[in-house]
Homo-oligomer: A and B are copies of this chain.
Protein backbone atom coordinates (compact mmCIF):
# COMPACT_ATOMS: atom_id res chain seq x y z
CA UNK A 1 0.00 0.00 0.00
CA UNK A 2 1.65 3.21 -1.16
CA UNK A 3 -0.34 5.51 1.08
CA UNK A 4 1.32 3.91 4.06
CA UNK A 5 4.72 4.44 2.59
CA UNK A 6 4.06 8.02 1.67
CA UNK A 7 3.02 8.62 5.27
CA UNK A 8 6.21 6.96 6.46
CA UNK A 9 8.14 9.21 4.08
CA UNK A 10 6.66 12.34 5.61
CA UNK A 11 6.93 11.16 9.19
CA UNK A 12 10.54 10.22 8.68
CA UNK A 13 11.24 13.91 8.13
CA UNK A 14 9.34 14.95 11.21
CA UNK A 15 6.44 13.91 13.45
CA UNK A 16 3.06 15.24 12.39
CA UNK A 17 -0.60 15.07 13.31
CA UNK A 18 -3.18 13.57 10.96
CA UNK A 19 -4.27 17.05 10.09
CA UNK A 20 -0.73 18.14 9.26
CA UNK A 21 -0.24 15.06 7.15
CA UNK A 22 -3.29 15.87 5.11
CA UNK A 23 -1.84 19.32 4.46
CA UNK A 24 1.52 17.84 3.56
CA UNK A 25 -0.11 15.61 0.96
CA UNK A 26 -2.17 18.44 -0.45
CA UNK A 27 0.83 20.67 -0.78
CA UNK A 28 3.13 18.23 -2.50
CA UNK A 29 2.31 14.73 -3.64
CA UNK A 30 -1.37 15.22 -4.38
CA UNK A 31 -0.62 15.36 -8.11
CA UNK A 32 0.45 11.75 -8.14
CA UNK A 33 -1.01 10.53 -4.87
CA UNK A 34 -4.11 12.30 -3.63
CA UNK A 35 -4.97 11.29 -0.10
CA UNK A 36 -8.22 11.90 1.59
CA UNK A 37 -8.71 12.87 5.15
CA UNK A 38 -10.74 10.02 6.50
CA UNK A 39 -8.46 7.54 4.88
CA UNK A 40 -5.42 9.14 6.47
CA UNK A 41 -6.91 8.82 9.94
CA UNK A 42 -7.87 5.22 9.39
CA UNK A 43 -4.52 4.30 7.95
CA UNK A 44 -2.70 6.02 10.79
CA UNK A 45 -4.61 3.92 13.33
CA UNK A 46 -3.74 0.80 11.38
CA UNK A 47 -0.09 1.71 11.21
CA UNK A 48 0.08 2.25 14.95
CA UNK A 49 -1.37 -1.22 15.40
CA UNK A 50 1.24 -2.65 13.06
CA UNK A 51 3.98 -0.97 15.05
CA UNK A 52 5.13 1.27 12.22
CA UNK A 53 4.25 4.43 14.12
CA UNK A 54 4.02 5.69 17.65
CA UNK A 55 1.21 7.94 18.74
CA UNK A 56 1.70 10.69 21.25
CA UNK A 57 -1.42 12.22 22.74
CA UNK A 58 -1.13 15.81 23.76
CA UNK A 59 -3.97 16.93 26.00
CA UNK A 60 -5.12 20.54 25.70
CA UNK A 61 -7.68 22.12 27.97
CA UNK A 62 -10.99 22.77 26.32
CA UNK A 63 -9.91 21.41 22.96
CA UNK A 64 -9.62 18.06 21.28
CA UNK A 65 -6.50 16.16 22.16
CA UNK A 66 -3.81 16.63 19.58
CA UNK A 67 -2.29 13.40 18.28
CA UNK A 68 1.21 13.44 16.96
CA UNK A 69 2.55 10.47 15.05
CA UNK A 70 6.18 9.46 15.03
CA UNK A 71 7.86 6.86 12.88
CA UNK A 72 9.18 3.84 14.79
CA UNK A 73 12.42 1.95 14.02
CA UNK A 74 10.28 -0.74 12.41
CA UNK A 75 8.62 1.96 10.31
CA UNK A 76 11.99 3.33 9.25
CA UNK A 77 13.17 -0.09 8.21
CA UNK A 78 9.98 -0.67 6.22
CA UNK A 79 10.33 2.71 4.54
CA UNK A 80 13.92 2.02 3.53
CA UNK A 81 12.99 -1.38 2.19
CA UNK A 82 10.05 -0.06 0.18
CA UNK A 83 11.84 3.01 -1.17
CA UNK A 84 14.61 0.85 -2.60
CA UNK A 85 12.34 -1.79 -4.14
CA UNK A 86 11.51 -1.27 -7.83
CA UNK A 87 7.78 -1.35 -8.44
CA UNK A 88 5.96 -2.93 -11.35
CA UNK A 89 4.37 -0.41 -13.66
CA UNK A 90 1.16 0.85 -12.15
CA UNK A 91 -1.79 0.16 -14.39
CA UNK A 92 -3.43 3.49 -14.90
CA UNK A 93 -6.97 3.82 -16.05
CA UNK A 94 -7.83 6.52 -18.53
CA UNK A 95 -11.58 6.74 -19.02
CA UNK A 96 -11.01 9.49 -21.54
CA UNK A 97 -9.25 7.03 -23.83
CA UNK A 98 -12.27 4.75 -23.73
CA UNK A 99 -14.24 7.59 -25.23
CA UNK A 100 -11.68 8.03 -27.98
CA UNK A 101 -11.42 4.30 -28.58
CA UNK A 102 -15.16 4.09 -29.20
CA UNK A 103 -15.16 7.45 -30.94
CA UNK A 104 -16.30 5.82 -34.18
CA UNK A 105 -19.76 5.98 -32.64
CA UNK A 106 -19.52 9.76 -32.23
CA UNK A 107 -19.76 12.76 -34.56
CA UNK A 108 -16.78 14.94 -35.38
CA UNK A 109 -18.27 17.74 -33.34
CA UNK A 110 -18.74 15.63 -30.23
CA UNK A 111 -15.25 14.19 -30.63
CA UNK A 112 -13.64 17.59 -31.07
CA UNK A 113 -15.51 18.87 -28.09
CA UNK A 114 -14.04 16.10 -25.95
CA UNK A 115 -10.56 16.81 -27.19
CA UNK A 116 -10.82 20.55 -26.67
CA UNK A 117 -11.99 20.05 -23.11
CA UNK A 118 -9.00 17.84 -22.41
CA UNK A 119 -6.77 20.42 -24.03
CA UNK A 120 -8.11 23.13 -21.77
CA UNK A 121 -7.60 21.04 -18.66
CA UNK A 122 -4.10 20.01 -19.63
CA UNK A 123 -3.14 23.60 -20.33
CA UNK A 124 -4.40 24.75 -16.97
CA UNK A 125 -2.63 21.94 -15.17
CA UNK A 126 0.59 22.74 -16.98
CA UNK A 127 0.38 26.36 -15.88
CA UNK A 128 -0.04 25.28 -12.29
CA UNK A 129 3.03 23.06 -12.59
CA UNK A 130 5.07 25.85 -14.14
CA UNK A 131 4.12 28.22 -11.36
CA UNK A 132 5.14 25.76 -8.66
CA UNK A 133 8.32 25.03 -10.54
CA UNK A 134 9.33 28.67 -10.73
CA UNK A 135 8.46 29.36 -7.13
CA UNK A 136 10.80 26.57 -6.10
CA UNK A 137 13.51 27.65 -8.49
CA UNK A 138 13.60 31.00 -6.75
CA UNK A 139 14.18 29.29 -3.42
CA UNK A 140 16.62 26.71 -4.73
CA UNK A 141 19.82 28.57 -3.86
CA UNK A 142 19.01 28.59 -0.13
CA UNK A 143 18.01 24.94 -0.01
CA UNK A 144 19.52 22.99 2.86
CA UNK A 145 19.47 19.76 0.87
CA UNK A 146 19.76 20.48 -2.85
CA UNK A 147 19.67 16.81 -3.78
CA UNK A 148 16.40 16.15 -1.96
CA UNK A 149 14.89 19.30 -3.44
CA UNK A 150 16.03 18.26 -6.89
CA UNK A 151 14.37 14.87 -6.49
CA UNK A 152 11.10 16.33 -5.34
CA UNK A 153 11.22 18.71 -8.29
CA UNK A 154 11.79 15.73 -10.58
CA UNK A 155 8.24 14.63 -9.86
CA UNK A 156 7.02 18.00 -11.03
CA UNK A 157 9.15 17.76 -14.15
CA UNK A 158 7.47 14.41 -14.76
CA UNK A 159 4.09 16.08 -14.62
CA UNK A 160 5.23 18.80 -16.99
CA UNK A 161 6.67 16.40 -19.54
CA UNK A 162 3.58 14.25 -19.37
CA UNK A 163 1.29 17.19 -19.95
CA UNK A 164 3.41 18.50 -22.79
CA UNK A 165 3.20 15.13 -24.48
CA UNK A 166 -0.54 15.07 -23.90
CA UNK A 167 -0.92 18.52 -25.39
CA UNK A 168 1.07 17.59 -28.48
CA UNK A 169 -1.04 14.48 -28.91
CA UNK A 170 -4.30 16.37 -28.48
CA UNK A 171 -3.33 19.10 -30.95
CA UNK A 172 -2.32 16.58 -33.57
CA UNK A 173 -5.50 14.57 -33.05
CA UNK A 174 -7.65 17.67 -33.37
CA UNK A 175 -5.95 18.70 -36.56
CA UNK A 176 -6.27 15.28 -38.13
CA UNK A 177 -9.94 15.01 -37.29
CA UNK A 178 -10.61 18.48 -38.62
CA UNK A 179 -8.91 17.57 -41.87
CA UNK A 180 -10.45 14.11 -41.98
CA UNK A 181 -6.95 12.80 -42.27
CA UNK A 182 -7.17 9.31 -40.87
CA UNK A 183 -3.61 8.18 -41.43
CA UNK A 184 -1.49 6.92 -38.59
Cβ of B168 and Cβ of A101 under 8 Å apart?
Answer: no
Tell me which residues from 50 to 97 in chain A have a Cβ below 8 Å from any Cβ of chain B: 79-80, 82-84, 86-97
A45 on the interface (CB 8 Å rule)?
no
Expressed in whole angstroms, the Cα–Cα distance for A133 and B104 within the complex equals 18
This chain: copies in complex: 2
Number of interface residues of A (CB under 8 A): 75
Q: Residue A113 contacts which of B84, B101, B182 (CB distance < 8 angstroms)?
A: B84
Residue A110 lies at the interface, judged by CB distance under 8 Å to chain B = yes
Beyond A91-B34, A165-B165, A184-B157, is A83–B102 a contact (Cβ under 8 Å)? Answer: yes
> How many angstroms between the C-alpha atoms of A51 and B165 in the bound complex?
40
- Contacts from A to B (Cβ < 8 Å): 2, 5-6, 9, 12, 28-29, 32-34, 79-80, 82-84, 86-106, 110-111, 113-114, 117-118, 121-122, 125, 133, 136-137, 140, 145-155, 157-158, 161-162, 164-166, 168-169, 173, 176, 180, 182-184
